[in-house]
Amino acid sequence: MLNFKNILMHIAYSGKVFFAPNTSDEQIIDRSKKRLIENGIREEHIQINYNIQELEVNDLYISYEPPHLVIRIIYEKKGSGMIKMRNTGMIEI
């Protein structure tokens, strides 16, 4: 797993991008979105959404776990609805 503070990394994705900020603090949400955009995610692709059941293989699930954004990719979705994710990186906001 990669950990970046002020280093930009290109986040590759081919599906949906769900951002679960786990906070109602608009400043944190705005800073987080800015960091995601700086790292290659298009603003119009970022959806604030907590419903992981809507995710498919190759989608990203990004959560705010102070002081980081934890980036996970969906690598398997079972018929039962169980979702398997793998951490791919962290970005400090």
Residue range of the domain that includes 45: 3-92
Burial label for 56, CB within 10 Å (0-12, 13-18, 19+), is exposed
Q: What is the pLDDT of residues 50-74, one digit of tens each?
A: 999 999 999 999 999 999 999 999 9
Closest CA to 64 of 13, 36, 25, 23: 23
Closest CA to 69 of 39, 42, 26, 24: 39
Calculate the dihedral angle through the C-alpha atoms of 32, 33, 37, 38, rounding to the nearest 10 degrees.
-30
Handedness of CA 60, 40, 92, 33 (dihedral sign): negative
What percent of the chain has pLDDT above 70?
90
Q: What is the overall mean pLDDT for the chain?
A: 89
**DSSP 8-class letter at 43:** G
For the entire predicted model, the pTM comes to 0.85
- Total domain count for the chain? 1
Q: pLDDT at residue 3 above 50? A: no
Q: pLDDT at residue 6 above 60? A: no
